Amino acid sequence: PYAGPGPAMEALRAAGRAVLRSPRLARHGLGLRRRRKLPESWADMQEPLLEGMCFTLKYLGMTLVEKPKGEDMAAAAIRRIVATARVGARKFQKVILTVSPRGISLQDADTKEMVENISIYRISYCTTDKLQNKVFAYVAQSQESGALECHAFLSPKKKIAEAVTLTVAQAFQMALDLWEATHAGR
């Protein structure tokens, strides 16, 4: 007998709801590039998202976190990452971040080498930081150690950081819809 969704799906639902409830993101229109805007309706984006939406960002770094989600936790983690990045004074790695219902993949923009591939089921939270509004971050469970990691990225514009966050939210929703469709008859 089917016992209902497991903890991974509950985390997926909670993360999707948290992103969808963000009043800050709901107020702003989103532009990806010049003259190309995200459609008003998420339904209009389903086909491109299935293939994967790509964003070119700069990887700021990663820090370990204690909690899987929360605005305060994410803000503190982003502050640590940004402070460490400023002290290092190194050139940031330019990456192509691809969002799909399968998860997030990171590819080095220069070498085209795959850096990381994170399953949507391992991602517990994503956000655009309130103070550093060009910074997009997500929290995911490490495949190797199982530790919770917050990864932060710098976008060229605030609207792009918000677009990445909303795209991840839509990917959560699509993954949930696909999961429910495959488990509907059980």
Phi-psi region of 163 (alpha: psi -120 to 50; beta: other; left: phi over 0): alpha
- Residue with the bigger pLDDT between 48 and 97: it is 97
Q: Is residue 177 part of a domain?
A: yes
Q: Is residue 130 part of a domain?
A: yes
Q: Is residue 2 part of a domain?
A: no
Percentage above 70 pLDDT, the chain: 72
**Is residue 14 pLDDT above 50, yes or no?**
yes
**Is residue 177 pLDDT above 60, yes or no?**
yes
Q: Is residue 1 part of a domain?
A: no
Residue 32's pLDDT is 37
**Domain containing residue 119: CATH number:** 2.30.29.30
Summary mean pLDDT of the chain: 79
Query: 175: pLDDT confidence band, cut at 50, 70 and 90?
Result: confident
Q: Is residue 81 part of a domain?
A: yes
The range of the structural domain enclosing residue 135 comes to 7-32+41-182
Digit-coded pLDDT (tens) for 108-131: 999 999 999 999 999 999 999 888
Q: Is residue 62 part of a domain?
A: yes
Q: pTM for this structure?
A: 0.72
- For the chain, how many structural domains are there in total? 1
**Is residue 36 pLDDT above 80, yes or no?**
no
**Is residue 169 pLDDT above 60, yes or no?**
yes
Q: Is residue 59 part of a domain?
A: yes
Digit-coded pLDDT (tens) for 43-94: 455 556 677 889 999 999 999 999 988 889 999 999 999 998 888 767 899 9
